[in-house]
Amino acid sequence: MTLARRISKIGLGTVKIGRNQGLRYDEGFELPDATAVRALLDQAAALGVTLLDTAPAYGNSETKIGEAIAGQRDRWVLATKVGEYFEDGRSHFDFSAETTEQSLANSLRRLQTDHLDLVLVHSTGEDTYVARETPVLDVLSRWRDRGDIGAIGMSTKTVADTIALLPDIDAVMVTLNPAHTAEIPVIEAAHAQGKLVLIKKALDSGALAGAEGADPVGDALRFSAGQPGVTSIVIGTLNPEHLAQAVRAVA
């Protein structure tokens, strides 16, 4: 089965599993313990969710996921990232070859796996510079070519620059929600080229939960799911019922 067909329409973003500082959320939250993480992932699996989106910048998210899915690797599509690190209360970016290699090795160890299904490059907003002037994509390409990574891509913030980069990557992660439609041209171009398209901030980091309407969350998710070419919508939640509602909304 191709990677695209293995990826569920709703993916679980896991930043809240491992990090509760420096995030754009209205309310604070406690980090879940191992039992709560395992329960959340069991619920995700029962709902048919296969995609877990994590990153070294998400605190100890990778470690918690690796422990929770031990013995269940084939059930999941593991997506992680390179380029960003969160230390001392702020993000640091490093796209050098040495750091990228070490980041990938660390992710394999933390996730307790011998391969990564998808690896994205974090966005600084300078997408062309990162892709063309740093070695990060070259490193990811080598790992993909030898079979240690299934697909490579970028989480981006630009439009024209991202479209120009599409031939060099397998996947893109872009922002899409009813309040932010500027990146639809990227989705359309990626769809035309057969690329994977992951959606971030489909709920505008939680802001759309309080929007007008009987079901603002469902409406926002259906809006993104209805865009041709969207592979998966990644939502970050610690609430199993909220996850179930999201899956039902796009079913």
CB 246 within 8 A of CB 216: no
How many alpha carbons fall within 13 Å on the CB side of residue 93?
12
The residue to which tokens 């796996």 are assigned: 113
CATH 3.40.50.300 assigned to 3-250: no
Average pLDDT over residues 27-39: 90
Out of 150-154, 193-197, 201-205, 220-224, pick the least confident.
201-205
Out of 4-13, 37-46, 87-96, pick the least confident.
87-96
**pLDDT tops 90 at residue 142:** yes
Residues 6 or more apart in contact with residue 156 via CB below 8 angstroms: 123, 127, 162, 165, 172, 173, 174, 183, 186
Percent of the chain whose predicted confidence (pLDDT) is above 90: 87
What the block records as the tokens of 70 is 């031990």
What the block records as the tokens of 171 is 């996947």
Residues 6 or more apart in contact with residue 107 via CB below 8 angstroms: 56, 62, 80, 116, 119
* Strands 84-87 vs 90-93: parallel, antiparallel or unpaired: antiparallel
Hey, how many other C-beta atoms are within 10 angstroms of the C-beta on 33?
10
pTM, full prediction: 0.94
What's the pLDDT score for residue 29? 82
CA-CA distance, 141 to 120, in Å (whole number)? 11
The residue to which tokens 């690796």 are assigned: 66
**pLDDT tops 70 at residue 69:** yes
CA-CA distance, 19 to 124, in Å (whole number)? 19
Average pLDDT over residues 161-167: 97
CA distance to 1, 17, 183, 209, per residue, from 24 (Å): 36, 15, 20, 14
**pLDDT tops 70 at residue 208:** no
3-state secondary structure of 134: coil
3-state secondary structure of 132: helix
What's the pLDDT score for residue 209? 55
**pLDDT tops 60 at residue 50:** yes
CA-CA distance, 134 to 96, in Å (whole number)? 7
Q: Which amino acid is residue 71, in one-letter code? A: G
Average pLDDT over residues 187-205: 95
Q: Structural domain boundaries of the chain?
A: 3-250
Catalogue the active-site residues: 58
Selection from 15, 180, 9 nearest residue 86 by Cα:
15
CA-CA distance, 242 to 116, in Å (whole number)? 27
**pLDDT tops 90 at residue 1:** no
Percent of the chain whose predicted confidence (pLDDT) is above 70: 95
Average pLDDT over residues 54-60: 96
What the block records as the tokens of 123 is 């966005």
